[in-house]
Every structure is written in structure tokens, then in C-alpha cells.
């Protein structure tokens, strides 16, 4: 993939979103999130999905001039209404709220409802790890997965993410769907008419398929069989039900023609201060943990190490983008009169 200058991409994409009607801060947060995903090599959640967000803005799918609203707050947690904002905006502000309040007791949680897709979950736990805190995020998503033993779409791919900081090493970054694969990955393969591995998805008749287009009409399988189903259920309860958001197949779709339609995604953000719980030694212990993992073999990588290596390379050489993504970006830049250097 050809690489592109991050500063140029940031300025150009922000201009597109502002031209569409987003206010500058919201455009900046969405742009930063998408480019960060590409920087870390998570291209299924990067600038490839910008056209979808542009369409949602143009069709009135986001509230463009609001902010999150705190519905209830205690010393231990807050419940917020995301007010149908762009998910990257409300999720960023939810994690920021948790980080602001964690110093009181060493732990803080924020539960969000009336939200939309927030993209790559690792972005929010990375916010916590960057300031020496442990971040954990749960989120439910539109139904794409059948319950174990069934074939109808009821559960989302419901991701979980965790960021654990070290001092010299890390942070450890886990970001995974509870399905065999994220739905966005299947969409990405469908765009190139690629083939899925067996065991990823069922078609509309409940039969194993390697055709990504039939998989989109059918269901994605849970990871680790009944264990993935169990984990997806717990995440749905702790993010959707507990926050007062939608759950199971009541979660709305991202792509919709209905103006003002909120997905009502549920999200939970947890922050822990390891210094208050243990001491500053925690960071040294995480360094030792990672060093010990590496002694098991040259190919051993801790969770998130590949993405951290991608980020270092991208910051040095530029952001890698697939030709299809560049094609869509170029069209948007030309449509909105943005200087096109692609």
C-alpha cells in the first residue's frame, strides 16, 4: 500500500467533514480516530469508513451541535446520554470523563446510551494507557451473530478492549470482537470479492459459507463456539442493558436513510489507577511481564505489539492506505473542493 502524509490527510479530511456540517471539534475527533486506526494497521476501522460517516452526516444521522449529557453521577460512576452524536465524539468524551474522575477512588466507570458506532475500541483504552491508567471498554453492536445453537441474527460482534501501561514496554492492547472476526473485516473482504475462511460465517440458510456477500446476508459465528457466545452476552448486558441502551437485535444500523435515527448503542468505559491500587511498581512489573513473555520465542508478541510496531512505522514513513480507500477519499476531496494530493 502507498503511504501518505498524516498531517495532510488530517487537514483534508477535517475540511470535508466541516463542509458536510460537522463543527470543528467533532470533525477533529472523528478524523483523528480514523487516521489513528490506519496508523495502527487497523484499516477496517480507518479512513475506509469515512464515506459512511459522511453519508450519515448528510442524511441527518448525527446530532451535529450537541455534547454528551450526564444523566446521573456518583463518586464511582456516571451514566451519560450520548445524544445521538457521532460515536467517536461521545466515546472520547466518555473516556475523558472517566479519566477526570478516577483520581477520587482509583476506579471509575462511565455507562453510555443513545450512542452510535465508535469505531476501533483500542483508541479509547489507549487514551487511558497514555496517562498511566488501565482502560477497559465494552460495546454492543448491531446484530450480526447467531446465538450458539441458533441461526438468526440476535447478537452483535460486541467488542472488548483493554489497555495496560508499562514504563519501558507496552502498553498491552487488547481489542477483539467476540465473533470469529469483526463484521467490518467481512465487509472489507466483500469489497474486493475475496473469499472467507471456512468457519467464519453462515449464509442466510444457516450453512457454512466462504462468500462474504452471503455472509453479510447471513450470520457471523462466535469465536470459540459457546464461549464467544457467552462473552458476547455478558458484554451486551454490561454495555447495552446496564446503560439503558438497546440490546440484542434492537441495536440500530449504522447505514440508514432515516433522518435522526440513533443506533442507541450501549458502551461502558472503566478506568483503574494502578498506582493507587498497587504502587508505581506496577509499571515495572508490566515491563517484566512483557520481557518474560518474549523469552518464550522470537515470534512471541504481546497483545497489541504488532499494532504498536505499525504505528511507529507509520509515523516515520506515512500512513498506508489501500487503493480503494484512496479512490473514495479522492472523490470526497474533489466533491468538497479540498486540495487533492492523493
pLDDT, tens digit only, all 342 positions of the chain: 999 999 999 999 999 999 999 999 999 999 999 999 999 999 999 999 999 999 999 999 999 989 999 999 999 999 999 999 999 999 999 999 999 999 999 999 999 999 999 999 999 999 999 999 999 999 999 999 989 888 789 999 999 999 999 999 999 999 999 999 877 788 889 888 899 999 999 998 889 999 999 998 899 999 999 999 999 999 999 999 999 999 999 999 998 877 778 999 999 999 999 999 999 999 999 999 999 999 999 999 999 999 999 999 999 999 999 999 999 999 999 999 999 999
State how far the alpha carbon of 41 is from the alpha carbons of 102, 125, 130, 313, 342, in Å.
30, 17, 19, 10, 19
- The CATH 1.10.1530.10 portion of the chain extends over 1-58+305-342
- Considering the four listed CATH numbers 3.30.1370.60, 3.40.50.800, 3.40.250.10, 3.30.750.24, the one that applies to the domain covering 77-176+223-303 is 3.30.1370.60
Question: Which pLDDT value is given to residue 183?
Answer: 79
Helix or strand or coil: residue 217?
A: helix
Give residue-wise pLDDT tens across range 113-158: 999 999 999 999 999 999 999 999 999 999 999 898 887 899 999 9
Report which DSSP code applies to 155. Answer: B
Q: Which fold has domain 180-221?
A: Wheat Germ Agglutinin (Isolectin 2); domain 1 (3.30.60)
Residue 231 corresponds to which cell in the numbers above?
462473552
Q: What residues are paired with 69 via a beta bridge?
A: 81
- pLDDT > 70 fraction of the chain, expressed in percent and rounded: 100
- The CATH 3.30.1370.60 portion of the chain extends over 77-176+223-303
> Among positive and negative, which fits the CA dihedral 262, 238, 68, 94?
negative
H helix intervals, the chain = 6-20, 24-39, 50-58, 87-101, 122-129, 183-191, 212-217, 226-236, 274-277, 281-294, 305-317, 323-335
- The CATH 3.30.60.50 portion of the chain extends over 180-221
In terms of Cβ atoms closer than 10 Å to its own Cβ (0-12, 13-18, 19+), residue 22 is buried
Give long-range contacts, CB 8 A cutoff, 24+ apart: 8-11. 8/341, 9/35, 9/47, 9/319, 10/35
State how far the alpha carbon of 81 is from the alpha carbons of 27, 39, 239, 251, 292, in Å.
20, 30, 13, 15, 43
State how far the alpha carbon of 300 is from the alpha carbons of 98, 261, 292, 305, in Å.
33, 45, 10, 10
Give residue-wise pLDDT tens across range 306-342: 999 999 999 999 999 999 999 999 999 999 999 999 9
Taking the model in full, what pTM does it have? 0.94
Report which DSSP code applies to 145. Answer: B
Q: Which fold has domain 1-58+305-342?
A: Hypothetical Oxidoreductase Yiak; Chain: A, domain 1 (1.10.1530)
> Among positive and negative, which fits the CA dihedral 248, 82, 98, 120?
positive
Terminus-to-terminus CA distance in the chain, angstroms?
Answer: 13
User: Within a 10 A sphere around the Cβ of 340, how many other Cβ atoms?
Assistant: 12
User: Under 8 Å CB-to-CB from 81, ≥6 apart: which residues?
Assistant: 68, 69, 71, 112, 113, 114
Amino acid at each position: 500500500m502507498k503511504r501518505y502524509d498524516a498531517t495532510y490527510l488530517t487537514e483534508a479530511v477535517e475540511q470535508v467533514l466541516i463542509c458536510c456540517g460537522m463543527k470543528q471539534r467533532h470533525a477533529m475527533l472523528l478524523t483523528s480516530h480514523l487516521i489513528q486506526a490506519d496508523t495502527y494497521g487497523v484499516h477496517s476501522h480507518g479512513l475506509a469508513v469515512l464515506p459512511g460517516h459522511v453519508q450519515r452526516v448528510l442524511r441527518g444521522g448525527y446530532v451535529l451541535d450537541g455534547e454528551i449529557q450526564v444523566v446521573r453521577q456518583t463518586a464511582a460512576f456516571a451514566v451519560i446520554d450520548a445524544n445521538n452524536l457521532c460515536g467517536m465524539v461521545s466515546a472520547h468524551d466518555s473516556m475523558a470523563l472517566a479519566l477526570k474522575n478516577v483520581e477520587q477512588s482509583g476506579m471509575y466507570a462511565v455507562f453510555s446510551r443513545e450512542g452510535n458506532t465508535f469505531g476501533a475500541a483500542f483508541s479509547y483504552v489507549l487514551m487511558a494507557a497514555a496517562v498511566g491508567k488501565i482502560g477497559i471498554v465494552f460495546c454492543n453492536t448491531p446484530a450480526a451473530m447467531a446465538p450458539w445453537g441458533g441461526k438468526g441474527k440476535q447478537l452483535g460482534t460486541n467488542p472488548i478492549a483493554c489497555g495496560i501501561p508499562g514504563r519501558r514496554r507496552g502498553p498491552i492492547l487488547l481489542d477483539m470482537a467476540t465473533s470469529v472476526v469483526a463484521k467490518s473485516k467481512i465487509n472489507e473482504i466483500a469489497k474486493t470479492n475475496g473469499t472467507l475462511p471456512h468457519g467464519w460465517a453462515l449464509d442466510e440458510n444457516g450453512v457454512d459459507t466462504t462468500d462474504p456477500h452471503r455472509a453479510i446476508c447471513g450470520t457471523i459465528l462466535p469465536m470459540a463456539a459457546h464461549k464467544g457466545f457467552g462473552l458476547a452476552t455478558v458484554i451486551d448486558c454490561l454495555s447495552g442493558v446496564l446503560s439503558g441502551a438497546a440490546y440484542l437485535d434492537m441495536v440500530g444500523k449504522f447505514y440508514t436513510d432515516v433522518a435522526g435515527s440513533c443506533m442507541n448503542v450501549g458502551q461502558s468505559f472503566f478506568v483503574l489507577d494502578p498506582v493507587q491500587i498497587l504502587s508505581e511498581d506496577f509499571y515495572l512489573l508490566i515491563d517484566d511481564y512483557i520481557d518474560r513473555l518474549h523469552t518464550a520465542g522470537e515470534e512471541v508478541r504481546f497483545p497489541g505489539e504488532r499494532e504498536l510496531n505499525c504505528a511507529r512505522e507509520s509515523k516515520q514513513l506515512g500512513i498506508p492506505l489501500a487503493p480503494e480507500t484512496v479512490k473514495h477519499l479522492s472523490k470526497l476531496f474533489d466533491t468538497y473542493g479540498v486540495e487533492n494530493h492523493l
